[in-house]
Structure 1
């Protein structure tokens, strides 16, 4: 059995931790949102994309108060709690929606984005919390120009159906009343799916990376995509994307891969630290590109049906030297943004 399959040895510990996490991500009212800081331990760290981890519960309180002012009515929907084999380590995927009110941009605007909340727990309280998203979504919401990126040719053209497709996962819970309980009895299927996922994210050699497309189900049913772009449908396009990546992201690999899972034995997330070469001819010689990735996988009998790769795409502009205006963040955030 795969070492990545969750055992039933820590059910009570998981239940206690998840109850706290649910209070955080499912908060709706201003009162509920305003008490999030109380869910941390005293010597916690917290932070969000484009910032640095901030230490201490008092700082967490100030961040909570700042968010209530500048992200009014902001909530997280369709929250999926992904669990690791460590009963204190979780990643929650969310659709964030609500207002963003940065005074420099003329009042409140609608802001939607996909979030990944990486959480390490301690005794039913949050020890470490960091929130990842694609910062380009905030640029769009604030009306800031995103420069044209001169990408290499060869990526497949997108159809209207692909543009309209929402890659956000749709869990198929066996016990919808208790969606965060991972049952016993499906370990063999999980192990088979995880073996395929490991082939994908742990690929190191040229041949291993070049065969990723063959891990998808046959035909036109599968989808793949990355970095805020529309999906590509079908195994033929998955092969085209693989071949394109081999040229323009030479020797790019995913390190420190952590597999997270849900009650649905066919739905997984992998968090990775990606590193390696990026070569976009319009921007000169090969450069080293690093980013944090969240890969979502919908599996079927050990093959990939749906795959999407989330990251902060602004870092791609940064490494290529494409200048973007800095976001004018309101005063009062207790850390560096």
Structure 2
């Protein structure tokens, strides 16, 4: 096989690229499964993670991420999430491969009921980015990014206005 420079690839290079393609396809299928898991099936989503895997929300009102560490704790988080977001769905899911067969990005929308203690139930929708890092066919790290102001609105929390005078739009 000849690469883009016209140089013949070695068997090792071809083998590695072939195994990278297989690894990427396998990991991508897990990302698809994660993003399309709904209802009670969300209680088993933590099984897609490594034993020491992490997941969480990287955009919060504190400026600090909420990180859940360990497969068992991610299982606990799944129970909490199902209670607080009982009918949550991801839609308009676009999965992006990277140069690394173990790294993926997802852009999507999310929508459903939000039930946080101390707030009235609301309908929450937002736009999200997710990052997935894999290790040995399992999710090692999952990070979620969103606009916290949309969550504030769904909870009935007033969002301050930033005056951006003269910004060209």
Q: Secondary structure at the match of 2:46?
A: helix
Residue 254 of structure 1: aligned partner: 90
Post-superposition shift, 1:198? Answer: 1.0
Q: Give the whole-Å Cα distance in 1 for the aligned partners of 2:89 and 2:77.
A: 15
Q: How does 1:119-130 map to 2 (within 5 A)?
A: none
Residue 48 of structure 2: aligned partner: 215
In structure 2, do the counterparts of structure 1 residues 237 and 264 end up closer, same or farther at CA, with 3 Å as the change threshold?
same
Post-superposition shift, 1:207? Answer: 2.8
Residue 8 of structure 2: aligned partner: none
Q: Give the whole-Å Cα distance in 2 for the aligned partners of 1:299 and 1:202.
A: 18
Q: Secondary structure at the match of 1:189?
A: helix
Cα RMSD of the aligned pairs, angstroms, is: 1.7
Q: Give the whole-Å Cα distance in 2 for the aligned partners of 1:230 and 1:316.
A: 15
Q: Where in structure 1 do 4 or more consecutive aligned residues deviate above 6 Å?
A: none
Residue 266 of structure 1: aligned partner: 102
Q: Secondary structure at the match of 1:211?
A: helix
Post-superposition shift, 1:304? Answer: 0.4
Deviation per CA, 1:49-105: give whole Å up to 9, x if none: xxxxxxxxxxxxxxxxxxxxxxxxxxxxxxxxxxxxxxxxxxxxxxxxxxxxxxxxx
Q: How does 1:46-125 map to 2 (within 5 A)?
A: none
Are the equivalent residues in 2 in contact too, given 1:193–1:301 (CA < 8 A)? no
TM-score, structure 2 length as denominator? 0.82
Residue 56 of structure 2: aligned partner: 225
TM-score, structure 1 length as denominator? 0.42
**2:41 pairs with 1:194:** no
Residue 328 of structure 1: aligned partner: 163
Q: How does 1:162-311 map to 2 (within 5 A)?
A: 184-185=17-18, 186-204=20-38, 206-218=39-51, 221-226=52-57, 227-228=59-60, 229-284=65-120, 286-311=121-146
Post-superposition shift, 1:321? Answer: 1.2
Q: Give the whole-Å Cα distance in 1 for the aligned partners of 2:160 and 2:107.
A: 29
In structure 2, do the counterparts of structure 1 residues 283 and 230 end up closer, same or farther at CA, with 3 Å as the change threshold?
closer
Q: Secondary structure at the match of 2:93?
A: strand
Q: Give the whole-Å Cα distance in 2 for the aligned partners of 1:265 and 1:325.
A: 41
Tell me the matched-pair count: 149
Post-superposition shift, 1:184? Answer: 4.1
Unaligned runs of 5+ in 1: 1-10, 12-182
Q: Give the whole-Å Cα distance in 2 for the aligned partners of 1:324 and 1:257.
A: 28
Q: Give the whole-Å Cα distance in 1 for the aligned partners of 2:159 and 2:35.
A: 31
Q: Secondary structure at the match of 1:241?
A: helix
Deviation per CA, 1:120-149: give whole Å up to 9, x if none: xxxxxxxxxxxxxxxxxxxxxxxxxxxxxx
Q: Secondary structure at the match of 1:305?
A: strand
Are the equivalent residues in 2 in contact too, given 1:225–1:231 (CA < 8 A)? yes
More relative contact order in 1 or in 2 (CA 8 Å, sep 6+)?
2
Unaligned runs of 5+ in 2: 5-15
